[in-house]
Structure 1
Amino acid sequence: MITRPSRDGAAVRPGASPRVRARVLALSAVPLVVLLAVVGLAPLPYSVARPGQTTDVLGSDRGGEVISISGASVRETSGQLRMAAIQATGPQVAVRVGEVIDGWSRTDRAVMPKDAVFPAGLSDAEIARHNLADMKSSQHAATAAALALLGKDPGRVKVKLALDGVGGPSAGLMFSLGIVDKLDGDGSGGDLTGGRSIAGTGTIDADGTVGAVGGAALKTQAARRDGASVFLVPKAECAQVRPAPAGLRLVPVTTLKGAVQALRALAKGGAVPSC
């Protein structure tokens, strides 16, 4: 007897009854259902990120000052300088296809390859140590950049930075600005913040160069959620953070000096660049 394949690959006899055809189609659909179930349950090599915490570097964290300075007079400050972070699923967390699809459909989520978020081949504990080392290196660079900008002697002025629960180098710019505000304000007796809540992100080199970071768009959402009205963003990432959350002004920066100049102008109602 000659049979012809149906569209799904099952063999159906010519002239078979509708009931037989239905049984064949149902049986041929079983492997597809099983395949979809396996795909749905299999972990994928992605991390799903969302807006994380923001912390005022001019304030305190877990009972202690985020920025402590000795060897120079320190100003009383008003306003806030908030570093912003993202929260991402860890490298050992199994991310399923449903979470990936959900993340792709939402503006408050970002789906990224795990290797783009975490160093490959490391355990959770090793990654935590790696991020802590990056944070410490960033703090040293932030201190060096701020003191150099102000012409302060690092041998006399000692800065201690303490922020728990956050790793990586992306708070460098905000640490530097916090040091500048505590030591010099806007340079004319006022606050560098102008009394506003300023948030931002960006790495910092000892020479004051501001570098790009990951998850900047999610960080703008965290900043606005926590009351910031201005967000400092590495200029190279302007396209990634547009459009900004309603009520949040985006200010692009490339150097610590440029960021300080922008905040001073903003405090005085002057012209400030925008993304």
Structure 2
Amino acid sequence: MSRRAITLLLAAFLVLALGVAGAFRPVPYVVLSPGPTENTIGEVGKKPVISIEGRQTYPTSGALSLVTVAYQGGPAAQIDLLTALRGWIDPTVAVVPQETIFAPDRDPKEVEQENTVEMTNSQDSATAAALNELKIPYSMVVAVVSAEKGKPADGKLQKGDEINSVDGKAAKDVEVVSNAVKAHKPGESVVFNVTRGKEKLDVTLQTVAGPTGQPQVGVTMQAQYKFPFDVDINVGDVGGPSAGLMFSLGILDKLTPGELTGGKKIAGTGTVQPTGKVGAIGGIQQKMVGARDSGATVFLTPADNCAEAMKAVPDGLRLVRADTLHDAVTALDALRTSKGNVPACDAG
């Protein structure tokens, strides 16, 4: 073999070796894919997803399934370039920068804890929304869960503090408190009135800029409800607030005569406020794929996600727009009876 051929062969080998080595180098991306679905009126691990005690319940049929997004990657276990490339080719998954899921200045364990709190809040908000829809009274307080170390609330707000008002505005729910803080500019003062034990206190905090520039004080809150009966929701490791709408519908279905689904397999997503307002979520495309794979034919979609969802709706899945819990109930009634309006998503 000539010297030229040997040189070319060696160069080709080196290029191949570098390519292989590069393919397995970690990259700061996260792969999002369709996660598992759970039927909120069914069972998980031989235990009902929704259990209600102290109130009459009724038989259900079909499915009202929550949908999830699974992720691969993150600061503690970065994916390699080859995995990212496969994800970019696969239309059912998304590859996103790591910082869109894990804020650079946040400990992943903190984020996981926050997701757990959000899921608990979501379950309580879903129960409250269902009871509001049924006009069943209950009471609620906004309580401090934790204060982030090094942030303004650290050492000033304590776990268990009940927030009565912020800047004189009644703390009707967690969102009201959060919005009251966001109404300030970073560096401005915000006054929390709290009940600690038997004492009422005014706590003044100076806001700081969060990762996105929005003002914050570093407090994690939770709405603590006193419902007239027990509602227990069992979903295992699922975290975050995006299953709220489907929890509310599952609770409603169990508390009312008749079958909300008409025997159909319904899936959906969306946060829900105690008022019944449905909010947008992330990962809509992966959630639709998971819904269709589970056999669902109808997908309840938050209004603010409709435009994105319309770009990649799977064949055989009908998108139904859900602005509020009441709208979702009305749409399901119309689907079941073939009477009335079923609001559709549009690309606008």
TM-score (norm 2): 0.66
Q: Show structure 1 runs of 5+ residues with no match.
A: 1-18
Matched, 1:265 2:334: yes
| Deviation, structure 1 residue 101 | 1.6
Matched, 1:50 2:118: no
Letter of the structure 2 residue corresponding to residue 235 of structure 1: A
Q: How far apart in 2 are the matches of 1:28 and 1:245? A: 46
Matched, 1:143 2:127: yes
Partner of 1:205: 273
Q: Secondary structure at the match of 2:263?
A: coil
Structure 1 residue ranges, 4+ long, deviating more than 3 angstroms after superposition? 19-39, 118-127
Matched, 1:194 2:235: no
Identify the range of structure 1 (40-49 vs 122-131) with the bigger mean alpha-carbon deviation.
122-131
Partner of 2:289: 221
The answer to whether the 8 A contact 2:331-2:342 is kept is yes
| Deviation, structure 1 residue 41 | 2.8
The answer to whether the 8 A contact 1:144-1:206 is kept is yes
| Deviation, structure 1 residue 120 | 3.7
The answer to whether the 8 A contact 2:102-2:108 is kept is no
Partner of 1:238: 306
Matched, 1:159 2:231: yes
Partner of 2:254: 182
Q: How far apart in 2 are the matches of 1:164 and 1:119? A: 25
| Deviation, structure 1 residue 85 | 0.6
Q: Secondary structure at the match of 1:47?
A: strand
| Deviation, structure 1 residue 143 | 0.9
| Deviation, structure 1 residue 249 | 0.9
Partner of 1:15: none
Q: Secondary structure at the match of 2:254?
A: helix
Identify the range of structure 1 (252-261 vs 32-41) with the bigger mean alpha-carbon deviation.
32-41
Letter of the structure 1 residue corresponding to residue 316 of structure 2: G
Partner of 2:62: 79
Q: Please, what is the CA RMSD of the aligned residues? A: 2.3
Q: Secondary structure at the match of 1:58?
A: coil
- Structure number with larger C-alpha Rg: 1
Q: How far apart in 1 are the matches of 2:344 and 2:324? A: 15
Q: Show structure 2 runs of 5+ residues with no match.
A: 139-226
1:169 to 218, 241, 250: 241
Identify the range of structure 1 (66-75 vs 252-261) with the bigger mean alpha-carbon deviation.
66-75
Matched, 1:113 2:97: yes
Q: How far apart in 2 are the matches of 1:51 and 1:149? A: 31
Q: Secondary structure at the match of 2:100?
A: helix
Letter of the structure 1 residue corresponding to residue 245 of structure 2: L
Q: How far apart in 2 are the matches of 1:100 and 1:90? A: 10
Partner of 2:113: 129
| Deviation, structure 1 residue 233 | 1.1
More strand by share: 2
Per-residue displacement from partner, 1:189-220 (whole Å, max 9, x unpaired)? 42111111100111111211111111111111
Per-residue displacement from partner, 1:116-162 (whole Å, max 9, x unpaired)? 22344445544332221110111111111111111012342332212
Per-residue displacement from partner, 1:195-254 (whole Å, max 9, x unpaired)? 111001111112111111111111111111111111111122123223422221111111
Q: How far apart in 1 are the matches of 2:304 and 2:268? A: 14
Q: How far apart in 2 are the matches of 1:171 and 1:23? A: 62
**Fraction of identical pairs, as percent:** 42
More helix by share: 1
Partner of 2:325: 256
Q: Secondary structure at the match of 1:142?
A: helix
The answer to whether the 8 A contact 1:90-1:124 is kept is no
1:61 to 36, 39, 44: 44
